[in-house]
Structure 1
């Protein structure tokens, strides 16, 4: 059995099949166009921007009356999309360097992402995810591809990903999302904020998670099953969830450090515990 560690950012317990989410990669290669096509390429870039703006408007309209906080995420992204400074950088890359529109978008947004990440302010640095999200949306439209999101998840599962973009988290289907595990993220990331608002158990900073979850096996009849949803596993997690719901488990037990555990023990706030001697508990 492999044990992974991370930081819990939304309380709760979850058990189910792991859905490894690997979003489409939109990484254009360095490419340029011949002379005489500047107007055409500018038109392509502005057409993709207009298409992206329509998508964001649709999301804002659909969410405004249901969840204003979620709608505000896409409102902020539309402001990024229409930012005059970013627009100027893309225009310059097309007009002066003759960079293909997708590569021009990548150059402009990557410059801003680097600046934001180097700000030294954790909250500002988190906004780099919004920039990446808008960048992906623009390039996807330039490539003429359809939008694919976690909102179309078919079966209940624990979502495991390197990271989730803001648009991924906002469009999550609560009924199908049992829990969230990401390799990146923090307490102030979109993943953490949305997970808490939807009361979905979540952990971030779980390095190696996307490579570790391989719980699918074949039984003797060659039927595929998931070892995490066997009757025994479900019986166990149901019992632990009962203890948690009844308040018999410390609310922060998944995040306890050794010091916190020792402090609670010495203060007689722990009646029983389970652990191994090599863990020091």
Structure 2
């Protein structure tokens, strides 16, 4: 039995789908064709932009204008000349691979935002992470789990759910959320209440203890999982 923070009410029983947002493995490499590397980065950004526009449009229809705003801010991150411009400059100046350059710039920006006193600004760090990790997955050829194409009804178990995860998932197939991190005001908790999906957050190690296909029962009012 696990105990976490009750985030959204409801009693759920079903099979677990454990989402592994694997750590992206990024290595520093020297590259000879700088122009090709910059083009690769621009391509990954273009694909990410098209995906996010699709996610935003879907969110507008299914969740309303207000919830779709988060994707407008994600698209703004994609168009931020400071962020992407700095990554391109790094590729050119140091002759390094695009994923390494972008990750270094991401870490710098995230560190800067996370250290601010303002909670709103600290939350922007999560937006930067979400967007840059999407670009990095395309650069590295890492598959993104398609939550819009779930075949069975599941309880989603994740370290955390990104805004993109919650906006694109097939609401008819997702019975509830269980996450390792987060509090009552985290994005996952707010989205769960908006979608009227039962959820518990802050379970610490649910993704390690619960396996794919395990049968789980949980109470979103008390924060208990069996």
**C-alpha distance in 2, partners of 1:227/1:86?**
43
1:56 corresponds to which residue?
52
**C-alpha distance in 2, partners of 1:253/1:147?**
31
Structure 1 residues 147 and 77 mapped into 2: Cα distance closer, same or farther (>3 Å)? same
Matches within 5 A, 1:116-135: 116-135=113-132
Unaligned 5+ residue runs, structure 1? 217-225, 242-251, 257-281
Greater strand proportion: 2
Matches within 5 A, 1:1-281: 3-34=1-32, 37-66=33-62, 67-144=64-141, 147-214=144-211, 228=216, 254=222
Name which structure has the greater RCO, CA cutoff 8 Å, separation 6+: 2
> 1:1-34 CA deviation, whole Å, 9 max, x = no partner?
xx22211111111111121111344332122213
Question: TM-score, normalized by length of structure 1?
Answer: 0.71
Answer whether contact 1:33 1:100 (CA < 8 A) is retained.
Answer: yes
Q: CA deviation at 1:85?
A: 0.9
Larger radius of gyration: 1
**C-alpha distance in 2, partners of 1:139/1:151?**
21
Unaligned 5+ residue runs, structure 2? none
Answer whether contact 1:7 1:255 (CA < 8 A) is retained.
Answer: yes
Structure 1 residues 178 and 119 mapped into 2: Cα distance closer, same or farther (>3 Å)? same
**C-alpha distance in 2, partners of 1:195/1:48?**
30
**C-alpha distance in 1, partners of 2:145/2:215?**
28
Answer whether contact 1:169 1:190 (CA < 8 A) is retained.
Answer: no
Answer whether contact 1:33 1:99 (CA < 8 A) is retained.
Answer: yes
**C-alpha distance in 2, partners of 1:194/1:73?**
11
How many matched pairs?
A: 223
SS of residue matched to 2:2: coil
Structure 1 residues 94 and 176 mapped into 2: Cα distance closer, same or farther (>3 Å)? same
**C-alpha distance in 2, partners of 1:121/1:203?**
26
Answer whether contact 2:8 2:221 (CA < 8 A) is retained.
Answer: no
**C-alpha distance in 2, partners of 1:24/1:69?**
30
Q: CA deviation at 1:81?
A: 0.8
Structure 1 residues 227 and 100 mapped into 2: Cα distance closer, same or farther (>3 Å)? closer
